[in-house]
Amino acid sequence: MISILRSMWLTFLHVFHKTETVEYPEVKPYLAPRYRGRIVLTRDEEKNERCVACYLCAAACPVDCIALQAAEGENGRRYPEFFRINFSRCIFCGFCEEACPTYAIQLIPDFEMAEYDRQNMVYEKQHLLISGEGKYHGYNFYKNAGVDMGVKGKGEGHNEEKPVDLKELLP
Amino acid sequence: MKYVLIIAGVLGIALTIAAGLIWVERRLLSVWQDRLGPNRVGPFGLGQVIADTIKLFFKEDWVPPFSDRPVFVLAPGILMITILLTFAVVPFGPNFYVFDSNIGVLFFLGNSSLGVYSIVLGGWASNNKYSLIGAMRASAQMLTYEVFMGLSLMGVVMMADSFSFCKIVEAQKGGWFFIPQFIGFIVFFIAGIAETHRLPFDIPEAEGELIAGYHSEYSGMKFGMFFVGEYLGITLISGLIATLFFGGWLGPSFLPPVFWFLLKTFFFIGVFILLRASLPRPRYDQLMELGWKVLLPLALLNLLVTGAILIFLK
């Protein structure tokens, strides 16, 4: 009997508690910078596409929602001919972002992608590609990797040593 | 003409409160659960009542082919009729009642007994095992709690020397009955919860175990009748608690009597909803045990002691 009255009283005291509800469309919740939301394709600081169409994101995707086709541009630089993400399948796990060697594919803090037509959930390359650098500024894959794509010469990148002449005997 | 106005007023107040409770209950529950509740439709979400009503009207009114059709259709009506009839004897104010019956208390008890038929017939006609179990539980629970619901009121009747609600209210001018009749008040309150099968005594519907109990098969406005019937029942029991134990329309004269009656009624409606917000549902046998082993002896004891004291004072 006492415990019944006590629980009623304690419930009543909730009148003076703060309400937890966030009135969503008017009040937006805080999303952390590393929130895994809508997927974008970024460019490097020279406004070139970062994506090198290596297929690692498509391979890592557990629901197979990423489809792309590689192509080669001038001086052999690879880029995706088309890049398609079906967001009605995407589970926003972020594996594609982890798999990406060039920081091209990134998940950003935006989840407001509701559509009335399911077909509108399929994003093509022009919908995915943004003109900025996303979360990682000043990173250019070709300045770190060894390949010469007209960005830097062989062995001139960050933390990179000059190529060793294998025919040379002297150390 | 005056009668028509009064009947329209009583029906209007009762049905408005019952419909408004859809909103009140959800808002109050949300306050006690640190939420906001419905606040989108209209000011403070009050339009939710209209939206819900429109929704209920446009739902498909499906009568299951395996049901006993006439009884199935009749059952929700019985609930509404018995509860609305009882509002006729409840005095909203000194001159604001449909008729002042000299057997008002008995009229209420009789009507609430008839209300059991609605649930039993509804559950039986649905021809569904969950509905039947719910109806069985409801009949057992309501019959049990009716026994001492009547007995708990006899103390009040003895003190007021009348079965008429108006006389009972006037007899409380010296002091409200909940002080001398505190046990009667507690027993009547608990019996009232069980009678309207509200939480924590909602064992007949127990959605966790019986889907929705006796109204599993009901849809559309037939379900709506059960739904509004339940809220009407809460309003009725709250109004009767206010009338029988808390002086009805009596109160300081800076407010009109009807307002005092409604204020007290709303307070007890709030307590009903607080009960729902805070207490878990007891087991079926615990409910029966509480009824027969605790509340019935208490009600009888209250009856005996009240009678003895009244005879002694005479």
Mean pLDDT computed over A142-169: 75
Q: Residue B123 CA to chain centroid, in angstroms? A: 20
pLDDT tens sequence across B260-307: 888 888 899 998 888 888 888 888 888 888 888 888 888 889 889 888
pLDDT band at B220 (very low <50, low <70, confident <90, very high): confident
Tokens at A80, concatenated: 């995706």
Q: Largest alpha-carbon pair distance within chain A?
A: 94
Contact list in B for residue A12 (CB cut-off 8 A) is 32, 274, 278
Residue A169 has pLDDT above 80, yes or no: no
The H or E element spanning position A60 is: helix A56-60
Identify residue B111 by its one-letter amino acid code.
Answer: N
Determine whether domain A37-142 maps to CATH 3.30.70.3270: yes
Q: Which residues of B195-230 are buried (b: 16+ CB within 10 A; e: fewer)?
A: bbbbbbbbbbbbeeebbbbbbbbbbbbbbbbbbbbb
Q: Give chain A's mean pLDDT.
A: 86
Q: Looking at residue A44, what is its pLDDT? A: 86
Q: For residues B178 and B189, is the Cβ–Cβ distance under 8 A?
A: no
Within an 8 Å CB–CB cutoff, is residue A47 touching chain B?
Answer: no
Q: Give chain B's mean pLDDT.
A: 85
Domain interval for residue B102: 2-313
Best mutation target among B26, B27, B31 (most A Cβ atoms within 10 Å) is B31
Q: Which of B32, B35, B279 sits opposite A21 (nearest CB)?
A: B35
pLDDT tens sequence across B117-126: 888 888 888 8
Best mutation target among A3, A17, A18, A19 (most B Cβ atoms within 10 Å) is A19
Residue B210 has pLDDT above 80, yes or no: no
Three-state DSSP at A157 gives coil
Q: For residues B150 and B144, is the Cβ–Cβ distance under 8 A?
A: no
pLDDT tens sequence across B73-132: 888 888 888 888 888 888 887 877 778 878 888 888 888 888 888 888 888 888 888 888
Q: Which of B30, B36, B279 sits opposite A7 (nearest CB)?
A: B279
pLDDT tens sequence across B171-194: 888 778 777 888 888 888 888 888
Contact list in B for residue A24 (CB cut-off 8 A) is none
pLDDT tens sequence across A62-72: 999 999 999 98
Q: Looking at residue A67, what is its pLDDT? A: 92
Q: Looking at residue A146, what is its pLDDT? A: 66
Question: Which residues are registered as beta bridge partners of A82?
Answer: A69
Nearest-angstrom CA–CA distance, A68 and A52 = 11
- Nearest Cα neighbor of B227 from B73, B8, B21, B9 is B21
Q: Which residues of B106-123 are buried (b: 16+ CB within 10 A; e: fewer)?
A: ebbbebbbbbbbbbbbbb
Contact list in A for residue B268 (CB cut-off 8 A) is none
- Nearest Cα neighbor of B20 from B57, B55, B49 is B49
Q: For residues A46 and A143, is the Cβ–Cβ distance under 8 A?
A: no
Q: For residues B167 and B206, is the Cβ–Cβ distance under 8 A?
A: no
Give chain B's domain count: 1
Within an 8 Å CB–CB cutoff, is residue B99 touching chain A?
Answer: no
Contact list in B for residue A10 (CB cut-off 8 A) is 278
- Nearest Cα neighbor of B239 from B41, B137, B89, B33 is B89
Looking at chain B, the whole-number percentage of residues with pLDDT higher than 90 is: 0
Nearest CA in chain A to B30: A19
**CB contact (8 A) between residue A11 and residue B36:** no
Best mutation target among A2, A6, A8, A9 (most B Cβ atoms within 10 Å) is A8
More confident residue, A116 or B246: A116
Is-above-0.80 flag for pTM? no
Mean pLDDT computed over A159-163: 76
Nearest-10 crossing angle of helices B220-245, B104-126: 160
pLDDT band at A45 (very low <50, low <70, confident <90, very high): confident
Residue B160 has pLDDT above 90, yes or no: no
Q: Looking at residue A56, what is its pLDDT? A: 92
Residue B28 has pLDDT above 70, yes or no: yes
Within an 8 Å CB–CB cutoff, is residue B33 touching chain A?
Answer: yes
Residue B311 has pLDDT above 90, yes or no: no
Q: Looking at residue B163, what is its pLDDT? A: 86
| ipTM score | 0.71
Q: Looking at residue A60, what is its pLDDT? A: 92
**CB contact (8 A) between residue A10 and residue B278:** yes
